[in-house]
Amino acid sequence: MIFQLTEEQNLIRNMVREFAETEIAPTAKKRDEEERFDRPLMFDKLGELGLTGIVFPEEYGGAGADYISYAIAVEELSRVCASTGVTLSAHLSLCANPIYLFGSEEQKQKYLVPLAAGEKLGAFGLTEPSAGSDAGGTKTTALRDGDEWILNGTKIFITSGGDAETYVIFARTDKEAKKHNGISAFIIEKGAAGFSFGKKEEKLGIRSSPTMELVFENCRLPAANLLGKEGEGFKVAMKTLDGGRIGIASQAIGIAQGAFETAVDYAKERKQFDTPIGKFQGIQFQLADMFTQIEAARLLVYKAAYRASKGLNYSTDSAMAKLMASETAMKVTTQAVQVLGGYGYTREFPVERMMRDAKITEIYEGTSEIQRLVIGSALIK
Amino acid sequence: MNVLVCIKQVPDMESKFRVDAAGTWYDTTELAWRMNEYDEYAVEQAVRLKEQVKDADITVLSIGSDKVKETMKKALAMGCDRGAHIADDNVSGKEPCEIAGVIAEYAKEKNFDVIFTGMQSQDRGSGQVGVLVAEMLTLPAVTTIVDFVYSDGRIEVKRELEGGIKAKVAFTSPAVVTCQLGLNTPRYPTLPNIMKAKKKELLSIPIKDLLKVDARQHTDKVYFPEKKGGGLIIEGEPAELADKLIQILKEKTGVLA
Ligand SMILES: Cc1cc2nc3c(=O)[nH]c(=O)nc-3n(C[C@H](O)[C@H](O)[C@H](O)COP(=O)(O)OP(=O)(O)OC[C@H]3O[C@@H](n4cnc5c(N)ncnc54)[C@H](O)[C@@H]3O)c2cc1C
């Protein structure tokens, strides 16, 4: 076992860090305040750097890198801006990846190639008003009509909704089948007749990443837009989320790392009782715990990423990584605010934003309760 | 066209520097390393030149321990074609003339059309290596360039002079140019290029094969300048303060005539 990044992984980390610090970080605070998604910055530039297709083979416009490199990229972006981190994660893991895993060759050429190149932004629509953790409760329907599917229903909380061009959407194609068996996945493009956007959410955190409602009203799709086999949509969704959880876990690690570094720098500078507060054991213990937890969580994330790259089963690993990383992010960011005291609570420092951003990592792509359910049920199979 | 870019790995300038045990250099343990800033401009310009003329081969050269290969990999990922690593575990103990001698020895029969270097390194800052290489190879050296145009063997550059003045200089290749801030904005190595970099040639050559020049200077001592007393505090009403400040600036500095 070698606990060392490869030369390439180091190069990737340095490159993404430099890019994130010089280009993404300067506007992170303002974009958060304005709830503004800056596509040229937060997505198009990632495409130019080859990040939007990082794990896919070159033949599909990817860079052919491994999942650890992907984890590193999301982590480094999220270290300065969690909204940019999730933009990449949702695009790559939730939209491009299911097309790579389940798409026909024709679908890969048509949809995956421009997604990997960063020419098109991708989104994933599973959640509905009455189907959150219980994704099998999907009510959106897709009925077969000759050579077409007709979709009706609503998806909510969709990351990059409205801005994205390509959507992977789940709908019930068989009302008779048992809950999980009647769902199928589809690829839908922005502009399709009967496909429109509803409400944009106002959020606690990741405010620079748009979250939108999608509305399907007699939206007609060619039969060729079915992704994977009819009735196997639930499997597509679950496999997709296995990978997605590596992305969100990495986002959580990045947020925690950003807050931790701010806290360390602050503790060295801030003086109270004529002493830098970092010299107080009470503060050092907090910093020690933060660092230890981040490192432990990061190792779980890299392990899950390693298994994903090697083609090994990694469902439980990515659930554990996401659970641990997101709870760590919440703890560490809250503690970072504490280390900065009153200043930490103000918008003068980024830790309050990081604390707000951290919370979502315990919720989307399966809440912490759902991660425990995934891990637990694998134990008692 | 044959192009050589000489780069140096230097510590991140935000690092906390300490003088080493011998007292002749800084302590190199626990520092983060990166490419010398001016050398990034050199690499970028070489890659742009290749993109312009298409048919070019860029060698990136660096002297140092195995660790400098990390920085060379970045240059390869930015678009250099091959790497020449001159293996030397005591590069910081070599003075600019020795470094230039090694580079000149490596370059002498390779017919490089253009040799790019940074105008100086961020750590030693002698600014001599580029010009010495040119001298040793009997090539023209044009320093501190902030603009570079190549056309058919003719090179036209802008040099940065003091006081915001620039000079336009034209010459023909082969030549050595040393690059200054403002020349270009170095690209980020893209993911696909990082992946391709690992397949590029990176040869290591032992320093003893190329070191034929004797040192002509040595560093006696490296030290932090003594801290001067606290700043000057002037007191009074704003108008009075302004007058006092103007007087001080006139008498003690060249800021005001
Ligand atoms: C900003 C944001 C972005 C999002 N992006 C996307 C996206 O791009 N695509 C997409 O499809 N969805 C997206 N979502 C939706 C997200 O995945 C869901 O919100 C999440 O899965 C939880 O579903 P819910 O909100 O309906 O909560 P519920 O499922 O209603 O959960 C409420 C509470 O009950 C708990 N709970 C539920 N079931 C159980 C159980 N069996 N045992 C124990 N506890 C349980 C939950 O853990 C939670 O604490 C996004 C959400 C947000 C807020």
Beta-carbon-side half-sphere exposure of residue B24 (alpha carbons within 13 Å)? 11
Q: How far is the CA of A338 from the centre of ligand 1 (A)?
A: 28
CATH of the domain at A221: 2.40.110.10
At A217 the three-state DSSP class reads strand
CATH of the domain at A300: 1.20.140.10
Could B192 and A50 be called an inter-chain contact, meaning their C-beta atoms sit closer than 8 Å? Answer: yes
Could A65 and B74 be called an inter-chain contact, meaning their C-beta atoms sit closer than 8 Å? Answer: no
Q: How far is the CA of A363 from the centre of ligand 1 (A)?
A: 6
Print burial letters for A297-333: b (CB count within 10 Å at least 16), e (below 16).
bbebbbbbbbbbbeeeebbbbbbbbbbbbbbbbbbbb
pLDDT band at residue A91 using 50, 70 and 90 as cut-offs: very high
Contact criterion met (CB below 8 Å) for A54 and B191: yes
Separation in Å, CA B188 to CA A19, B30, B75, B179: 7, 25, 10, 18
Confidence (pLDDT) at B15: 87
Could B191 and A19 be called an inter-chain contact, meaning their C-beta atoms sit closer than 8 Å? Answer: no
In a domain, A2, yes or no: no
Q: Which of A7, A12, A58 sits opposite B70 (nearest CB)?
A: A7
Q: What residues of A act catalytically? A: 365
Q: Which amino acid is at A68?
A: I
Closest CA to B159 of B137, B189, B122, B130: B130
Same domain, yes or no: A240 and A219: no
Same domain, yes or no: A215 and A110: no
Q: How far is CA A193 from the centre of its chain?
A: 28
Could B34 and A14 be called an inter-chain contact, meaning their C-beta atoms sit closer than 8 Å? Answer: yes
Q: 3-class secondary structure for A125-169?
A: ECCECCECCCHHHCCCEEEEECCEEEEEEEEEEEECCCCCCEEEE
Number of domains in chain B: 1
Beta-carbon-side half-sphere exposure of residue B82 (alpha carbons within 13 Å)? 10
Same domain, yes or no: A260 and A225: no
* Secondary structure letter of residue B57 according to DSSP: E
Determine the residue among B191, B198, B199, B200 to mutate to test chain A binding: the one whose Cβ has the most chain A Cβ atoms within 10 Å: B191
At A124 the three-state DSSP class reads strand
Residue numbers of the domain that contains B135: 2-209
Provide, as residue numbers in chain B, all residues whose Cβ is less than 8 Å from the Cβ of A63: 190-192, 194-195
Q: Which of A47, A82, A116 is the last residue of a domain?
A: A116
* Secondary structure letter of residue B171 according to DSSP: E
Q: How far is the CA of A367 from the centre of ligand 1 (A)?
A: 6
pLDDT at A179 over 90: no
- For the Cβ of A253 lying below 6 angstroms from any atom of ligand 1, the answer is no
Cis peptide preceding B174, ω within 30 of 0: yes
In a domain, B236, yes or no: no
Beta-carbon contacts of B135 under 8 Å, excluding residues fewer than 6 positions away, are B100, B141
Digit-coded pLDDT (tens) for A236-294 = 999 999 999 999 999 999 999 999 999 999 999 999 999 999 999 999 999 999 999 99
Q: If you measure CA to CA, which chain B residue comes closest to A65?
A: B195
- Tell me the β-bridge partners of B176: B115, B141
Separation in Å, CA A24 to CA A27, A28, A227: 6, 6, 34
Closest CA to B133 of B162, B183, B99: B99
Helical segments of A20-151, H only: 25-34, 39, 45-48, 67-80, 82-89, 97-102, 105-107, 113-116
Confidence (pLDDT) at B256: 79
In a domain, A349, yes or no: yes
Same domain, yes or no: A220 and A239: no
In a domain, B9, yes or no: yes
In a domain, A305, yes or no: yes
Calpha distance B72→A174 (Å, rounded): 58
Residue with tokens 């089948």: A177
In a domain, B256, yes or no: no
In a domain, B231, yes or no: no
Could A48 and B198 be called an inter-chain contact, meaning their C-beta atoms sit closer than 8 Å? Answer: no
pTM for this prediction:
0.91
Contact criterion met (CB below 8 Å) for A172 and A48: no
Residue numbers of the domain that contains A143: 122-232
Calpha distance A291→A35 (Å, rounded): 30
Which value, to the nearest 10 degrees, does the dihedral of the CA atoms of residues B91, B96, B102, B106 take? 120
Same domain, yes or no: A109 and A163: no
Same domain, yes or no: A364 and A271: yes
E strands in chain A: 122-125, 141-145, 148-159, 166-172, 183-189, 195-200, 211-222, 226-227, 271-272, 275-276
Calpha distance A243→A237 (Å, rounded): 10
Q: How far is the CA of A132 from the centre of ligand 1 (A)?
A: 5
Confidence (pLDDT) at A225: 97
Same domain, yes or no: A353 and A376: yes
Number of domains in chain A: 3
Same domain, yes or no: A43 and A175: no
Digit-coded pLDDT (tens) for A130-165 = 999 999 999 999 999 999 999 999 999 999 999 999
Strands, sheet with B154-160, edge to edge from the N-terminal-most edge strand: B166-172, B154-160, B141-151, B175-179, B114-118, B2-6, B57-64, B82-87, B202-206
pLDDT at B257 over 80: no
Provide, as residue numbers in chain A, all residues whose Cβ is less than 8 Å from the Cβ of B35: none
- pLDDT mean across residues, chain A: 97
Same domain, yes or no: A256 and A210: no
Specify burial of residue B83 (Cβ count, 10 A radius: 0-12, 13-18, 19+).
buried
Calpha distance A254→A297 (Å, rounded): 11
- Lowest mean pLDDT: which of A170-174, A331-335, B144-148, B248-252? B248-252
Digit-coded pLDDT (tens) for B120-163 = 999 999 999 999 999 999 999 999 999 999 999 999 999 999 88
Note the ipTM here: 0.86
Q: How far is CA A107 from the centre of its chain?
A: 23
pLDDT at B253 over 90: no
Same domain, yes or no: A253 and A277: yes
* Secondary structure letter of residue B4 according to DSSP: E
CATH of the domain at B169: 3.40.50.620
Q: How many interface pairs between A and B have CB atoms less than 8 angstroms apart?
A: 49
Sign, CA dihedral A339-A343-A349-A355, equals positive
Same domain, yes or no: A83 and A95: yes
CATH of the domain at A45: 1.10.540.10
Digit-coded pLDDT (tens) for A208-246 = 999 999 999 999 999 999 999 999 999 999 999 999 999
Confidence (pLDDT) at B202: 97
